[in-house]
Structure 1
């Protein structure tokens, strides 16, 4: 009897010794997941460009549109886009000298050989949604230096795909840059918030009279306008100077291991709701004002919060891969919620505490970003989403924004087509191997337990 038990244990041990190497071979031979493939890709590249120059003097405003922007060529996956304002020598310009209201980079198609001056040969190639006035692929504001724009593996923002470009056209990139020189300004925050009284304007950039009650926003600080400055102070702080948006694109050459992402931008001023007819679409005002509550709630910062909300939904569901909000000075945070109330992403501002570029006191110098574990945060097709943007209302603010930018990966079956059958084969073999190991381990345990006089833990 003892001899039979000994032979059984020997056989089981041999089975284990044979199975383990087999499993190791299977694991080594199994195809890499796309995430592993992307992580092992050594082809990550960076390219740094400068926009055409724009000129500013104390109090002046530049709101420029630059076409044919420098950008990496070919079919690529963008993995990051970082930018800042610099001078001719490449020095970073602080926000308390030049306030970067926003920069937006969008994609378009243009007729080969160029288009006419009316730009009739251009076709916008915007993001996946939702606001007509927000078609950009990339864009930030004062928070640009400390906001992470990295796209995690195995994902990328796909551009330059030949099948997407209409015949006879080529891909191009556009920059809209809005900057305000606040050197010597009598009210730096007021100039940055485009308060109409400080700009002494009564019509917008098209010559149309401002709406009654319009006290501040983009309609008062368009290209060529000038905010009120202290002439003596302005004269002592510098003259007209040439500046640039310097930006770095991080990218990979596209390959099948990379999963494409869709860009969605939500706006809390959007009036769309779940019953809005599809033909009406989304109506986004982009900016709004925050009234002060200090008169009603003096010295109570916690209760002086202005909340703005909007709802939306995705036409195609998927995994949330990245999220970040955009707010102006006074912002205290923003969030995106699912239909069941779960928090999909929360993004709060980082305020500066010093004078150096990237840490300017009183300014939002960064926004916290969301990087969920891939596949852990899912958004269903048509799911009701709620966007919330909170501002401190201890003082009034004009022309603020409440945007939310997300990157979504569609379900694998929708992006990659049929699943590779080899994955199923390797998975089945591995599963069988694990089962053999478990059975063997149990039998050995039972055999050893009985031999040593102890009751087996598994009946």
Structure 2
């Protein structure tokens, strides 16, 4: 074969391959957008606690699909702050509707109060989970935040900002709660991070209510502006006040119902008080979530010292679980979600650090494994079981056992479905027609180029590139 024919053949083959590749690629590309923001500044000193609810934070606007939300604590220069200096107990973000022109401040509502959402000026948007009194947020993690995947798998996304769902006269906003404890120089780092009441020297909660008898530690003892004791002389060498921020990174796509499927957030709590009873429907009004619990030390030492807490809950949805992750505190050794017959759905295991740098702090949970199962079908009224395991070689106060799951109401159309086949056939015919026309044009152009080149050679012309 002559060189000219080889060139012509190769070019035509390349064009054909390119067209075929483009014809079998997805008919859409979900352009993921990413943006990072900073929360309002938090000023901290050794032993101090910050736990504000901050409203109207920066957030992507419009009708969007959330694909992920990641966060970490940074200083005023943007440097990550290690957990052994500032312990991130938790952060949570939640959407809400607010009446246009109304300024919602921290003093307007108490987000842990069960009367949330009763004001005509604002409407808090809660997740689909069962806890009616607490655990209302959409995203939320703690010390594990840097190494836990929150990515929502394709083709799913958490739909936000649908104009048809926005009440007239309201607009959608977002709030963040940041609970951080400055443990520089404290007398008992573990005791401070586990919010032991004796260290914080409190007898009432943040609303002035007396602590329940036997309550040894947890959120009710380390609320905003409380103080954990610092070693004598630690702060004598200068001002150790520092300014910190929660840096959060949002990933999203513009909503397109032709290519995206909505996934809804559900958060399950192992401390949920619901129990199956005759006539129970599993309605959210039947649930009370304590959010935290105490792990008491075992009476014997050894590997068998494991505190196991289980909870069976009736699911309030028909759908498919496409993502799951657990939230645990230090001492946690894993969690699982499974059916009554023992069939596993999702297991989530902690990653402990073994160094000093941010994201690898020794003794802290620095990540939780997320699971992306083949969509697991769950039927309304079906009972699922959660199991949370903690080491109880030593006791722990204020631990948590939350399971985040994403539930899709439908799955992508199967390729083998009849309508899909007809559509694919029609697309294929269109593609083949376009391909044929393109190839014919390419052949004509290339043949003309070859003839022209031969004529130039016969006339003694040579390209400068040869």
TM-score (norm 1): 0.80
Conserved 8 A contact 1:271-1:283: yes
Shift in Å, 1:206: 1.3
Say if 2:101 is the partner of 1:98: no
Question: After superposition, what is the alpha-carbon deviation per residue over 1:188-224, rounded to whole angstroms, capped at 9, x for unaligned?
Answer: 0000000011111111111121111111011110111
Whether the 8 Å contact between 2:185 and 2:230 is mirrored in structure 1 is yes
1:263 corresponds to which of 244, 255, 265:
265
- Determine whether 1:218 maps to 2:223: no
Off by >4 Å, runs of 4+ in structure 1: 25-30, 426-430
State yes or no: 1:69 paired with 2:70: no
1:390 match:
389
Three-state SS of the structure 1 residue aligned to 2:52 is strand
283, 286, 292: which one pairs with 1:287? 292
Report the counterpart of residue 419 of structure 2 in structure 1.
422
* Counterpart for residue 125 of structure 1: 125
Aligned to 2:399: 400
What is the distance in 2 between the residues matched to 1:107 and 1:135?
10
Deviates more, 1:165-174 or 1:208-217: 208-217
Q: Distance in 2 between matches of 1:279 and 1:326?
A: 21
CA RMSD, 1 decimal: 2.4
SS in 2 for 1:232: coil
Shift of 1:29: 7.0
CA 112–392 in structure 1, closer or farther in 2 if over 3 Å, else same? same
Describe how 1:158-237 pairs up with structure 2 within 5 A.
158-236=159-237
Unaligned runs of 5+ in 2: 1-18, 110-118, 428-466
**How far apart are residue 146 of structure 1 and its match?**
0.4
Moved more, 110-119 or 160-169: 110-119
Counterpart-to-counterpart distance in 2, 1:386 and 1:235 = 52
The alpha-carbon deviation at position 282 of structure 1 amounts to 1.2
3-state SS, counterpart of residue 144 of structure 1: helix
Question: Who is 2:274 aligned against?
Answer: 272
Distance 2:351 2:204 in 1: 35
Residues 364-396 of structure 1 show CA distances to partners (whole Å, capped at 9, x for unaligned) of 0000010113x3x22222211001100000000
Q: 1:233 to 1:28 in 2, by over 3 A?
A: closer
Ranges in structure 1 where 5+ consecutive residues have no aligned partner = 1-24, 431-459
Q: Is 1:303 aligned with 2:307?
A: no
* Aligned residues of 1:183 and 1:234 also touching (Cα < 8 A): no
CA gap 1:339/1:100 in 2 versus in 1, 3 angstroms:
same
Change (3 A) 1:264 1:116: closer
Q: Which moved more, 1:199-208 or 1:114-123?
A: 114-123
Aligned residues: 390
> Which of 39, 64, 67 in structure 2 is aligned with 1:51?
39
Deviation at 1:28, TM superposition (A): 8.4
Alignment of 1:306-455 (within 5 A): 306-373=307-374, 375=375, 377-412=376-411, 422-426=419-423
Instruction: Please say which of residues 89-98 and 379-388 is displaced more in the overlay.
Output: 379-388
Aligned to 2:9: none
Query: Which residue number in structure 1 is paired with residue 148 of structure 2?
Result: 147
Per-residue deviation, 1:428: 8.9
Cα distance in 1 between the residues matched to 2:192 and 2:226: 11
Deviations 1:244-282 (A, max 9, x none): 000010111110200100111010000113334537421
Distance 1:380 1:45, change over 3 A: same
1:252 & 1:215 partners in 2: Cα distance? 45
Distance of aligned partners of 1:329 and 1:67 in 2 relative to their CA distance in 1, 3 Å threshold:
same
User: Does the C-alpha gap of structure 1 residues 241 and 28 become closer, same or farther in structure 2, counting only changes over 3 Å?
Assistant: closer
TM-score, with length taken from structure 2: 0.79
Pick closer, same or farther for the CA change 1:209–1:386 going to 2, 3 Å: same
Looking at structure 1, the residues matched to 260 and 185 of structure 2 have their Cα atoms a distance apart, in angstroms, of 49
Q: Distance in 2 between matches of 1:143 and 1:308?
A: 21
Matched-pair contact (CA < 8 Å) for 1:317–1:411: no
2:55–2:104 contact (8 Å) kept in structure 1: no
